[in-house]
Amino acid sequence: MVRREPSVAVRPIQHARKVSLDQPISRDRAEFIGRAQACTRCLEYSFKKVSVKPAPDSQQKELHTLWIVRRICGICEHESELGLDPEGDVVYLG
């Protein structure tokens, strides 16, 4: 006869509320982060146009960039671009 431990005792405790980092950020989230970075010229946060597109394959591999956000400043009309990685961190800003 095989002895078994009660299954309840060996089941690990699950912390179900933990946010998974495996989930890449959405396009909406990328746009939100893009708007949260000041204009690189006048340092204002008012953009008249923000566009988000997926990074090309080469950039995804080399820089670990997932999204490219292009912004046109509503104050000085300077166009700037930033790259975001899948976790929403800014890879470059220029």
Which residues are near Zn ion by CB under 5 A? 39, 41-42, 73, 75-76, 78
31-43 core/surface letters (b: 16 or more CB in 10 A; e: else) = bebbeebebbeee
Nearest to 45 by CA among 68, 69, 73, 70: 73
Instruction: Kindly state the smallest distance separating residue 90's Cβ from Zn ion, in Å.
Output: 17
CB-nearer residue toward Zn ion: 63 or 76: 76
CB-nearer residue toward Zn ion: 55 or 71: 71
Instruction: Kindly state the smallest distance separating residue 38's Cβ from Zn ion, in Å.
Output: 8
CB-nearer residue toward Zn ion: 39 or 82: 39
How many Å apart are CA 45 and CA 56, to the nearest integer? 27
